[in-house]
Amino acid sequence: MALLSESDANEVRKIFGSLERDVEIRAYTQRLECPTCQDTEMILRELDGLSDRIRLTILNFQTDREAAGKDGVERVPAIVVSDGTHSRVKFYGTPSGYEFSSLLTVIVDAGGSGKTLSEETLEFLDGLDKDLSLQVFVTPACPHCPSSAVLASRMALHSDRITSEVIEANEFQELSRRFRVQGVPRTVVNGQYYAEGALPEYMMVEALSRGLEEGPEGEKDLMDYIRTS
């Protein structure tokens, strides 16, 4: 039984019509101890059937260890989206609710040629001299989460200095506790900086730029770099 209705599937076909090049999606799942892996597979297989530009590969996290290591995948279900040359953009958890829209947007970004980031953001990314890990905690019912998830993913698509992980907070509760996620979206940068809520692109770039320059010890709220401007 299809998870997408006929009208939803037709809408996704239209969205994928803007793809100008192939998009590689690698999904890691497993049969045991992963109650959401089957649904994730079903969703991705349906998406794969809606465009000839989608290149879907389903891997077994337990047996395809070498591939998982190369992709930096540490938990399941995991979805890696790219043009086939990197594994910097990942989604952890079932892409349902608002997370589904985030995944669609990132797929189109990966296969399109349109401008997705401002010139100021591109300048910041091109000038990075250190690697950044962006972890965005989200939930399917959060309407504000897609903007944070998509922004982190777009940054990672552009810069080989950045990796992004969009993490479904309820599915990975141990990880959520580790990073003290009490509300979403919550963005954690290098395990040190954090942002509560969905920061606009220009604010995120300004905060990161100032925060990285200062390089404080311990955790730091990125909003502190905005309030002192």
User: For residue 229, is pLDDT > 50?
Assistant: no
Read off the pLDDT of each residue in 15-42 and give the average, rounded to a whole number: 96
Read off the pLDDT of each residue in 65-72 and give the average, rounded to a whole number: 97
Please, which pLDDT band fits residue 182 given cuts at 50, 70 and 90? very high
C-alpha–C-alpha distance, residues 171 and 197, integer Å? 19
- Asked whether residue 89 falls in the same domain as residue 145, the answer is no
- Residue 221's H or E segment, with its range, is strand 220-221
Q: What is the pLDDT of residue 3?
A: 87
| pLDDT, tens digit (0-9, with 9 covering 90-100), for 86-127 | 999 999 999 999 999 999 999 999 999 878 999 999 999 999
Last residue of one domain, picked from the residues 84, 114, 144: 114
CA distances 205 to 88, 119, 160, 211, Å, are 19, 11, 17, 10
Sign of CA dihedral 31, 41, 164, 55: positive
Last residue of one domain, picked from the residues 96, 114, 132: 114
Please, which pLDDT band fits residue 227 given cuts at 50, 70 and 90? low
Residue 100 φ/ψ, nearest 5 degrees: -65, -45
In this prediction the pTM is: 0.96
- Asked whether residue 77 falls in the same domain as residue 1, the answer is yes
Q: What is the pLDDT of residue 91?
A: 98
- What CATH number is attached to the domain comprising 27? 3.40.30.10
Environment class of 113 (CB within 10 Å of its CB; exposed 0-12, middle 13-18, buried 19+)? exposed
Contact predicate 196/183, CB 8 Å: yes
Please, which pLDDT band fits residue 228 given cuts at 50, 70 and 90? low
Tokens 């909003």: give the residue.
223
Last residue of one domain, picked from the residues 99, 114, 129: 114
Task: Show the domain range for 133.
Answer: 116-229
C-alpha–C-alpha distance, residues 169 and 186, integer Å? 9
